[in-house]
A and B are shown apart, each in its own frame.
Chain A
Amino acid sequence: MVRFPRFFGKKRGHRRTGSQVWASFGDGVFHAALFAVGLVFAAMLLSGVAVPEWRINHRYAPTTCTIIGTGLVRHTRITPAGNGPSTWQPCLRVRYATSDGPAEAWSQPLRGRLTDDRSRAVASLASWHVGDVVPGWYDPADIRSVVLERGYNGWMWLMMLVLPGALIILGGAGLIRAINRWGRSEERCAMPTRLSGMLDPLATGPRHSAGHPGVPACDDMINSPGTVLAYRLPIESPESWTLIGFGLFAVSWNVVLVVLMVGAGLDFLGGTVDWLLFAFIIPFAGVGIAAVVAFSRLLLLATAVGTTQIEISAQPLRPGGSYTLLLAQGGSGTLESLMLRLTLDEQATFTQGTDTRIEKLTIWSQEIRSWHDLQLEPGTRFEARAAMTIPADAMHSFASEHNLVRWSIEVRGKPTRWPAFVRTFPLVVFPDVARRDDGEGAP
């Protein structure tokens, strides 16, 4: 008996998960549509561009053409509101010899000479004169089809490969994946195979440490030796990405602003004042100035406090292990407080409607050491050691595609003249596989 698949499946955690059958079906239909669009697009480009161009280069017969007239091909886009702007392309009336005898026809429009300026198109015709003899190629299957230039349009071929190719690869891989998963249990689908990485390269999740599934790889943490202690910890700096983002936005916005202002200025010098353009430029300039101010403020905040470095005595970290830290804080001025904290965060990624949301929660945190009223001198850096112990029954670091358990060291500072800052140095804590005793009161 065939039963209609349910829309809703089981309840897992805080959510009800959707029906696997419908999800697979929707996934398959979506990727099949992508695949079909890619095929149609490829077929259109192939029949409209690639095949005619290939025939011209391989099937057309050479001949000698005598120019008997010149003209322009006019291309006008017809819109619901009427005729749109026209473009012009020169072409030549030629007489030439074919296997069936002499023929006379207009040549196909000359590539690379398309212009929306009719006078320029007319001027370009001046390079040909009636009576000139030029090489040409005609179609033996249709002797009235003649061209005066051959070769390939590189951009068209690139577009033909990239756009339909991307749709065909994405759609095809998704379709194979959906077919491969159809009717299979989630455990069977989750088993890694040789094909799974190829069919779903974006869903591979974070890299894991060898021999420790679920524990994130820590190659980046052990490849940088410290100056005093064994390793220098990498800093996690979301502020840097914000700064880069603001910088790129400010630069690109103001480049557009300059182009607009140059255009308006040239019009003004030519005696024309486009008030609409000026009215548009004023708020545009306001946003540009605000972007520069915001970027400068972020840059000042990032550089005024000075760099923070942490070195650690040993890696990898294990529960119950004690480690020495070296904190180095650069910059100048007074810090009201500076604190080192060991923290354990949980992070969950989930979808709400069409949004992907990330929730992060610090579930345990312990002060390692703190300092007050620190006077930082330019050219030197404040250095201090501290001892840190990972709780004996602590959870190890964990990373899967949507869930994280993450250890880190936070440096929290409060300068007298600037806003407080937090700098995070991620850690990877491995499970202590030798430990067999039960514990209480851990993070």
Chain B
Amino acid sequence: MTSLSESHHGPPRVFVTFSNTDRRYEPLDSLVARYEVDGLGDEMPRAVEHSVLWYTEGKGEEDLGVLFFERVTDTERLPPAVPGESFGCTLPASPLSYEGVIVKIRWCVRVRFFFSGGRDFVSEHEFTVGTVPPARMPHAVPL
């Protein structure tokens, strides 16, 4: 998923490759993500944030848990000096990815660019932790 707060031109394109090419991880695995960005145009980012996080989706309000966060402001580590970067962390024992009925838990890597004009652009790339199968729709329980 990518989104742009405000833009004069087309959104940048962020390509992320994971250390596990199938994007499936187990708890306590090491995750490394490498990204490259293209299509930034004339406006160069003044900062980039890398994060590894889980969030909930579904009927309830969204909850968010950030496992790894890094803000890069050093121009030598920002485009156009470098086309992309790598970052990573060791995944925790929980929570596992979960496809419930009204509660879902998703893991993702986010790369967020902040431009000098004040706008920002975020690119989100999902991966899974654990192998919990999707929940089925419920059935009535007799008393």
Contact of A351 with B61 in the complex, beta carbons under 8 Å: yes
Rounded to whole Å, the gap between the CB of A214 and the closest CB of chain B is 4
Asked if residues B61 and A350 are in contact (CB atoms below 8 Å), the reply is yes
A171 to chain B, nearest CB (A): 24
Q: Which of B13-50 contact A (CB under 8 A)?
A: 26-28, 49
Contact of B93 among A211, A344, A403 (CB under 8 A): A211
Known: A211-B93, A395-B100. A190 touches B61 (CB 8 A): no
| A440 touching B133 in the complex, CB below 8 Å, given contacts A185-B112, A362-B138, A402-B61 | yes
A347 in contact (CB, < 8 A):
yes
* Cα distance A212–B96 in the bound complex, in angstroms: 10
0 or 1 for each of B73-103: is its CB under 8 Å from A? (1 = yes): 0000000000000000000111110101111
Within 8 A of B (CB), among A387-443: 393-396, 398, 400-405, 412, 414, 420, 422, 430-431, 433, 435-443
User: Is there a chain A Cβ closer than 8 Å to B126's Cβ?
Assistant: no
Q: How far is the CA of A307 from the CA of B6 in the complex (A)?
A: 62
A359 touches B102 (CB 8 A): yes
Residues of B within 8 A of A104 (CB): none
Residue of A nearest to B135 (CB): A363
Given A365-B141, A393-B133, A398-B95, also A185-B101 (CB < 8 A): no
**Neighbour of B63 across the interface among A402, A436, A437, A441, CB < 8 A:** A402
Q: Which of A185, A403, A422 contacts B120 (CB 8 A)?
A: A185
Picked from A187, A398, A401, the residue with its CB within 8 Å of the CB of B69 is A187
For B110, what are the chain A residues with a Cβ–Cβ distance below 8 Å? 187
Given A348-B59, A364-B138, A365-B141, A431 contacting B120 (CB threshold 8 A): no
Chain B interface main SS type: loop
Taking the nearest CB of chain A, how far is it from the CB of B3, in angstroms? 6
Whether B72 sits at the interface, judged by CB under 8 Å, is no
Given A185-B49, A341-B141, A395-B135, do A433 and B71 touch, yes or no (CB 8 Å)? no
Assembled-state Cα–Cα distance A157/B100 (Å): 54
Residues of B close to A395: CB separation below 8 A = 96, 98, 100, 132, 135
From A10, A191, A205, A359, residue with most partner B Cβ within 10 Å: A191
Query: Shortest beta-carbon distance, A5 to chain B, in Å?
Result: 9
Q: Is A139 an interface residue (CB 8 A)?
A: no
Tell me, in angstroms, the Cα distance from A361 to B93 when the chains sit together: 26
CA distance A57 to B23 in the complex (A): 74
Shortest C-beta distance, A354 to chain B (Å), equals 14
Question: Least Cβ distance of A284 to chain B in Å?
Answer: 39
Known contacts A205-B63, A363-B135; is-contact A187 B49 (Cβ 8 Å): yes
Cα(A438)–Cα(B27), bound, Å: 14
What is the size category of the interface that chain B forms with chain A?
Answer: 35 or more
State the CA gap A172–B135 with chains docked (Å).
Answer: 44
Would you call A17 an interface residue if the criterion is a C-beta within 8 Å of the partner chain's C-beta atoms? yes
B47–chain A nearest beta-carbon distance, Å: 10
Residue of B nearest to A400 (CB): B63
Please name the residue on chain A nearest to B92 by beta carbon.
A213
> A14 in the interface, Cβ–Cβ < 8 Å?
yes
> Shortest distance in angstroms between B27's beta carbon and chain A's nearest beta carbon?
5
CB distance from B88 to the nearest CB of A (A): 16
Give every chain B residue within 8 A of A185 (Cβ-Cβ).
49, 112, 120, 122
Contacts of B103 in A (CB 8 A): 346-348, 398, 403-405
Closest A residue to B1 by beta carbon equals A10
Find residues 89-143 in chain B having any chain A CB closer than 8 Å to their own CB: 92-96, 98, 100-105, 110, 112, 117-120, 122, 130-133, 135-138, 141, 143
Knowing A13-B57, A187-B110, A350-B61, the reply to whether A396 touches B66 (Cβ < 8 A) is no
Query: Quick check: is A3 within 8 A (CB to CB) of the other chain?
Result: yes
Please provide the 7 A-B residue pairs with the shortest distance between their CB atoms, ordered closest to farther.
A348-B60, A214-B95, A400-B63, A348-B59, A402-B61, A187-B51, A13-B57
Write 28 A-B pairs (CB below 8 A) sorted by A numbering: A13-B62, A185-B112, A187-B69, A187-B112, A188-B69, A191-B66, A214-B95, A343-B141, A348-B102, A350-B61, A359-B60, A361-B138, A363-B135, A364-B138, A365-B138, A365-B141, A393-B131, A393-B132, A395-B96, A401-B61, A401-B63, A402-B62, A402-B63, A405-B100, A420-B143, A422-B143, A431-B93, A437-B131
Q: A187-B53, A348-B60, A349-B61 are in contact. List 4 more A-B contacts (CB 8 A).
A: A347-B60, A361-B101, A395-B98, A403-B61
Binding site for A on B (CB under 8 A): 3, 6, 26-28, 49, 51, 53-54, 56-67, 69, 71, 92-96, 98, 100-105, 110, 112, 117-120, 122, 130-133, 135-138, 141, 143
Residues on A lying within 8 angstroms of B by beta carbon are 1-3, 10, 12-14, 17, 185-188, 190-191, 205, 211-215, 341, 343-344, 346-351, 359, 361-365, 393-396, 398, 400-405, 412, 414, 420, 422, 430-431, 433, 435-443
